[in-house]
Amino acid sequence: MYTLINQVGNARRGEFETPHGTIQTPAFMNVATAGAIKGGVSAIDLKEIHCQVQLCNTYHLHIRPGDEVVRQMGGIRKFTAWDGPVLTDSGGFQVFSLAKLRNIKEEGVTFASHVDGRKIFMGPEESMRIQSNLGSTIAMAFDECVANPSEYRYVKESSDLTIRWLRRCNDEINRLNSLSDTINPKQMLFGINQGSTYADLRIENMKAIRELDLKGYAIGGLAVGEPAEVMYEIIEAVEPYMPKDRPRYLMGVGTPTNILEAVYRGVDLFDCVMPSRNARHGHLFTSEGIRNLHNAKYTLDDSPIDPQCDCPACKHFTRSYIHHLFKSGEMLAMRLSVLHNLHFYNTLMEKIRESLESGQFEQFYRQYKETLSLRI
């Protein structure tokens, strides 16, 4: 259940109650693709960096170790030792971005696994069954994610197909939730709005999917090729048609600035691999902009990554040390950097929430944009 605590313009400070804990929104979900954050970060570490929700990838876990394995191990939360909420994506995005030799039909998609080329079929029912086996808190609808830009006619057909798939997802999850041996009988389904960069298709799609009265709604198919300004315009176009009493999730977004702009436009939930991926390459988010720890100028710099940060990396270690670890190829370099970047994102969301609560959001928004937007 979503409760709106305070609203500033379109920006919302809320609470989203789930069977596995309450999520304070706006929130950033930390991406543990195959059941672990890349860079050697465990679910236990996530507590220390203020993570509220872990996001795992259905496609990856279906291929390895297999969702039946995860089910037998008690579900993804028990498997990864994370006791908070977990959102699983539907596999749709990976089918369209990672897998090879796709063949899309009304029933679903046949594709070749990116690991071993094995042929796999996935449709709405399969995606729901996999996510039910994973036992996540929130399951995402199986959708077709089209690249931007795409032809209007193709997007319209695809978006209509996604609506038909969503109805099948909804029927299937209701059936699965009522089974006696299901891992999470209260698994929640989020619908996904599609329609590429066409505002009219987005709105038409949103009107249709809100009819299903789902537990939450996502905006998918953005940040896949279009300029950020177009993304913001689409959010602005579709937001008035999203239910006010449901959380809104902008999938796969983005930079700190992207997130702030989307919160400003009424979005509650986010996820992105950017903080962990950048960290592994030595690109650290700080209150002073991006810092590249590979840079030789950090050789003798005994400050923490960000003097204003109290993450486990900044609390104990210097730029000099982490620079040395990167140069020496020590895994600890990646681990400390990933912890820092995720903490940066989680803390950004905390600051956004605080400013929404205290009514200072507009001020925070303007100040942040002035000092940071050109850099990150």
How far, in Å, CA of 187 to CA of 71, rounded?
14
The sign of the dihedral angle between the CA atoms of 259, 263, 264, 266 is: positive
Binding of residue 86 to a copy of itself (CB under 8 A): no
Give 36 or 230: the residue with its C-beta nearer to a copy of itself.
36
Please identify which residue in the block is written with the tokens 């950097």: 337
Please indicate whether residue 89 is annotated as part of the active site: yes
Please indicate whether residue 160 is annotated as part of the active site: no
Site string for a copy of itself, 40-59 (x = CB under 8 A): xxxxx---------------
How large is the C-alpha radius of gyration of the chain?
A: 20
Give 156 or 291: the residue with its C-beta nearer to a copy of itself.
291
Q: Please state, in angstroms and as integers, the Cα–Cα distance from residue 209 to each residue in 15, 28, 198, 253, 366, following that order.
A: 23, 24, 17, 22, 34
Please identify which residue in the block is written with the tokens 């605590």: 5
Which of 28, 79, 249, 361 is in the footprint of a copy of itself by CB under 8 A?
A: 79
How far, in Å, CA of 85 to CA of 54, rounded?
7
Give 101 or 296: the residue with its C-beta nearer to a copy of itself.
296
Please identify which residue in the block is written with the tokens 């840079």: 295
- In DSSP terms, 21 is beta-bridged to 18
For 262, phi then psi, to 5°, come to -75, -40
The three-point CA angle 173-177-182 to 5° equals: 120
Binding of residue 24 to a copy of itself (CB under 8 A): no
Binding of residue 277 to a copy of itself (CB under 8 A): no
The single residue of 89, 143, 268, 306 carrying the catalytic annotation is 89
Which of 165, 190, 264, 321 is in the footprint of a copy of itself by CB under 8 A?
A: 321
Binding of residue 38 to a copy of itself (CB under 8 A): yes
Binding of residue 303 to a copy of itself (CB under 8 A): no
Which of 14, 26, 39, 252 is in the footprint of a copy of itself by CB under 8 A?
A: 39
Which of 52, 80, 187, 286 is in the footprint of a copy of itself by CB under 8 A?
A: 80
Which of 93, 165, 198, 317 is in the footprint of a copy of itself by CB under 8 A?
A: 317
Which of 224, 237, 325, 372 is in the footprint of a copy of itself by CB under 8 A?
A: 325
For 287, phi then psi, to 5°, come to -65, -10
Which of 99, 140, 163, 336 is in the footprint of a copy of itself by CB under 8 A?
A: 336
Binding of residue 276 to a copy of itself (CB under 8 A): no
How far, in Å, CA of 234 to CA of 257, rounded?
16
Residues in 135-174 that interact with a copy of itself by CB under 8 A:
none
Q: Where are the alpha helices (DSSP H) in 265-330?
A: 274-280, 312-316, 319-327
Burial of 150 (0-12, 13-18, 19+ CB in 10 A): middle
By CB under 8 A, name the binding residues for a copy of itself: 34-44, 60, 64-65, 69, 72-74, 79-81, 299-300, 302, 312, 316-318, 320-321, 323-325, 327-328, 330-332, 334-336
Catalogue the active-site residues: 89, 271
